[in-house]
Amino acid sequence: MPSEHPLRAHDLPPQTLARLAGGLAHELKNPLSTISLHLALLEEDWEAEDGIKPRRTVKTIRTLKTEVSRLNGILEDFLRFARTDRLQADLASLNTQVEQVVQFSSPEAERLGVQIRSHLDLSLPSVMLDTGRIRQALLNLVINSRQAMEERGHGTITLITRREGNHAVVEIVDDGPGMEASTLKQCLQVYYSTKKDGSGLGMATVRRIVEAHGGTLAVESAPGNGTRVSLSFPMEEE
């Protein structure tokens, strides 16, 4: 009789794993939505009651709602991570993607005392980009920088585009607290996070998006000297 070999996860093509992971996440989101709805109904019922027991029950329900919301956030991060193998790329302006992210991010950043600026190479040619994924990656990086500076209430994030040989480069530079060497070494690993409620998929997703474009990602940081993240994308031969 032929020997039987169990199918292992690393035997599957990346695209198959991504589809399986995405399907699983969707299946989990449906019951979580149902749980969230019923918790909201329970909260509404118990809020109308007076007494110690109703107040304690409402407090418990709100804790459960917070945890359900956190799980939904983790699943959303996981779905974004799993879907990075499917790109819809066309020739597009990297400068335009940067400008849109700056415009979108600036109001919230300024409310927290953080300035977002851009220095764009206007001669930069178009490159093959999945614009939605690239904006997602840039937004993740801007949010990371902003959150690193929120506690002290001031700082600057600068997005720079430039040409380097046959690559278009965008850099996200901040003057935040920077990272320790141990954190810098692990920051791109899946499920690594220094945030209390972080999923550990933000930077890993950025890396997958860049590599799916045939590009590279590099991070430079040191305590007290801020952080510089460089994304490099190959340009079409002129």
Cα distances from 211 to residues 111, 150, 174, 187, in angstroms, run 33, 30, 23, 16
Q: Where are the domains of the chain?
A: 10-85, 90-234
76 CB burial (10 A radius; 0-12, 13-18, 19+):
middle
pLDDT of residue 2: 43
CATH number of 90-234: 3.30.565.10
Region of residue 153 (left: phi > 0; alpha: psi -120 to 50; beta: else): left
Quick one: CATH architecture of 10-85?
Orthogonal Bundle (1.10)
Cα distances from 203 to residues 12, 16, 29, 184, 218, in angstroms, run 24, 22, 23, 11, 11
As given in the structure block, the two tokens for residue 103 are 């415009």
Rg (CA), the chain: 22
How do residues 117-145 score in pLDDT, each as one tens digit? 999 999 999 999 988 889 888 988 998 88
- Determine the Cα–Cα distance for residues 106 and 138; give it in Å rounded to an integer: 13
How do residues 24-58 score in pLDDT, each as one tens digit? 666 777 788 888 888 888 888 888 888 888 888 98
How much is the pTM? 0.66
pLDDT exceeding 70 applies to what percent of the chain?
A: 77
Cα distances from 118 to residues 45, 97, 136, 157, 171, in angstroms, run 50, 11, 17, 8, 10
Does pLDDT of 5 surpass 50? no
Please indicate whether the domains covering 10-85 and 90-234 agree at the CATH topology level: no
How do residues 66-107 score in pLDDT, each as one tens digit? 888 777 777 776 666 666 656 788 899 999 999 999 999 998
Q: Report the range of poorest mean pLDDT among 4-13, 20-29, 34-43, 203-212.
A: 4-13
Residue 109 three-state SS:
helix
Contact 224, 174 (CB under 8 A): no
Any bridge partners for residue 229, and if so which? 172, 219
- pLDDT band at 7, cuts 50/70/90? very low
